[in-house]
């Protein structure tokens, strides 16, 4: 591989092996575990709790097809067509070398869909099994692979215990639902013990696209493979949910109370952020009655981007043009390997084009230094 840490993906994925939950779930939930069913045509689909669908293995594992044969990208897929690098650390290193990527922050694939499970105890059991597997995967190359746990925030004390357990296993990041499926938003003081634990443990909390809990207006696009009513409208407006969650944290003073808490907004791209930041600042300054919490030292809501909040993008050339408004220190790039929309195996080519007019010192921050600092790459 190239000299270490010239290019780090802040958003990559594994594709879970068929037996992860069947073999990894604890006894009382084993018969309800996520499992794969292969039909007569060889197409593999995931189900949980009997026959509740979780989607298939097609597009999430079809890296490279967008360049070779984009018309062949589909939700449907066979397990034998999944790239070995999606679930095996050895072949994965070879795929990283092909792409010129020196390290990566790794997220689940099917795991994010599990947030649609309504029964909280079952959800937590599924997450524990996934977290065990992710930690073991990343142990193969801890200087290159930085994994994310899955955390269920339905019950704060249990979530905190699992966060601590995952940190002990070496996972530096943890996914939380982009938007809770109940009325308790992230401005509620009930979350304070969890924010405190994440800060003290140095664990980055990630809000990854398509990881909402079920609730009004939220569509399970990937579990229903895009057939649910409103899927297209939901897909193109997912930044609404993450904006709501992050604004709730900012305006309630979470990042002043926990100044070392880090939140990564992942795969929501960038171009929405400048208007969002300006709007937050305007409301804070001009409509103080709706934002009564006052920040110390004259800070504005936008000041927490870069210091506490980062944005991971894949191919947002408009966002790059607006980077000075967002703040370069808040930007990280991700390849999204091995998903169909991934820039693999042409990530360097894509970045050379997209960042052609970006000064070298800014480019270095965007493609390496910011995420290296956030996730403690050596």
Stretch among 47-51, 209-213, 215-219, 370-374 having the lowest mean pLDDT: 215-219
Q: Is residue 285 part of a domain?
A: yes
Q: Which residues contact 262 (CB under 8 A, 6 or more apart)?
A: 198, 204, 205, 308, 309, 310, 374
Chain centre distance of CA 309: 13
Measured between alpha carbons, how far is 46 from 160 in angstroms, rounded to an integer?
Answer: 28
Predicted confidence (pLDDT) at residue 341 exceeds the cutoff of 70: yes
What is the mean pLDDT of the segment spanning 220-228? Answer: 79
Q: Is residue 178 part of a domain?
A: yes
Domain count across the chain: 1
Predicted confidence (pLDDT) at residue 224 exceeds the cutoff of 80: no
Q: Which of 127, 126, 128, 148 is nearest to 138 (CA)?
A: 148
What is the mean pLDDT of the segment spanning 326-340? Answer: 97
Q: What is the pLDDT of residue 1?
A: 37
**How does pLDDT run across 94-109, given as a tens digit for each residue?**
999 999 999 999 999 9
Stretch among 204-213, 217-226, 288-297, 319-328 having the lowest mean pLDDT: 217-226
Q: Is residue 321 part of a domain?
A: yes
Strands 44-48 and 35-38, by their bridges, are antiparallel
CATH code where residue 205 lies:
3.20.20.140
Predicted confidence (pLDDT) at residue 234 exceeds the cutoff of 60: yes
**How does pLDDT run across 117-144, given as a tens digit for each residue?**
999 999 999 999 999 999 999 999 999 9
> Which residues span the domain enclosing 120?
8-13+85-374
Q: Is residue 80 part of a domain?
A: no
Looking at per-residue pLDDT, the higher value among 354 and 220 belongs to: 354
Q: Is residue 37 part of a domain?
A: no
Predicted confidence (pLDDT) at residue 3 exceeds the cutoff of 50: no
Distances, alpha carbon 182 to alpha carbons 118, 157, 213, 371, in Å:
11, 17, 8, 31
Measured between alpha carbons, how far is 328 from 322 in angstroms, rounded to an integer?
Answer: 10
Q: In the predicted model, what is the mean pLDDT of the chain?
A: 94
Q: Is residue 95 part of a domain?
A: yes
Looking at per-residue pLDDT, the higher value among 202 and 71 belongs to: 202
Q: What is the pLDDT of residue 4?
A: 54
Q: Is residue 18 part of a domain?
A: no
The model's pTM: 0.95
Q: Is residue 33 part of a domain?
A: no
């Amino acid at each position: 591989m190239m000299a270490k840490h010239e290019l780090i993906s802040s958003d990559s994925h594994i594709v879970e092996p068929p037996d992860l939950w069947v073999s990894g779930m604890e006894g009382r939930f084993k018969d309800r575990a996520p499992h794969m069913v292969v039909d007569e045509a060889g197409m593999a689909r995931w189900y949980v709790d009997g026959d509740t669908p979780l989607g298939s293995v097609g597009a999430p594992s079809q890296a490279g097809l967008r360049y070779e044969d984009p018309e062949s990208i589909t939700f449907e897929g066979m397990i034998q067509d999944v790239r070995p690098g999606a679930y095996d650390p050895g072949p994965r290193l070879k795929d990283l070398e092909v792409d010129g990527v020196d390290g990566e922050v790794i997220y689940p694939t099917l795991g994010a869909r599990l947030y649609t499970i309504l029964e909280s105890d079952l959800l937590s059991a599924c997450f524990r099994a996934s977290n065990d597997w992710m930690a073991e995967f990343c142990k193969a190359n801890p200087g290159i692979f930085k994994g994310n746990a899955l955390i269920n925030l339905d019950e704060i004390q249990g979530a905190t215990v699992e966060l601590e357990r995952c940190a002990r296993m070496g996972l530096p990041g943890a996914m939380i639902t982009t938007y809770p499926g109940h009325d308790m938003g992230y401005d509620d003081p009930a979350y304070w013990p969890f924010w405190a634990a994440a800060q003290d443990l140095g664990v980055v909390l990630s809000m990854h696209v398509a990881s909402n809990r079920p609730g009004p207006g939220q569509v399970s696009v990937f579990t229903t493979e895009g057939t649910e009513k409103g899927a297209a409208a939901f897909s193109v407006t997912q930044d609404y949910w993450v904006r709501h969650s992050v604004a709730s944290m900012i305006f309630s003073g979470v990042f002043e109370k926990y100044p070392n808490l880090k939140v990564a907004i992942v795969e929501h791209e960038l171009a929405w952020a400048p208007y969002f930041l300006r709007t937050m600042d305007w409301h804070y300054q001009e409509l103080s009655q709706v934002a009564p919490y006052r920040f110390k030292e004259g800070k504005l809501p936008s000041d927490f981007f870069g210091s506490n909040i980062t944005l991971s993008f894949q191919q947002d050339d408009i966002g790059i043009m607006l980077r000075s408004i967002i703040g370069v220190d808040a930007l990280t790039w991700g390849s999204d390997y091995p998903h169909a929309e991934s820039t693999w195996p042409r990530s360097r080519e894509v970045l050379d084009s997209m960042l052609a007019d970006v000064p070298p010192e800014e480019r270095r921050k965007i493609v390496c230094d910011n995420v290296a600092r956030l996730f403690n790459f050596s």
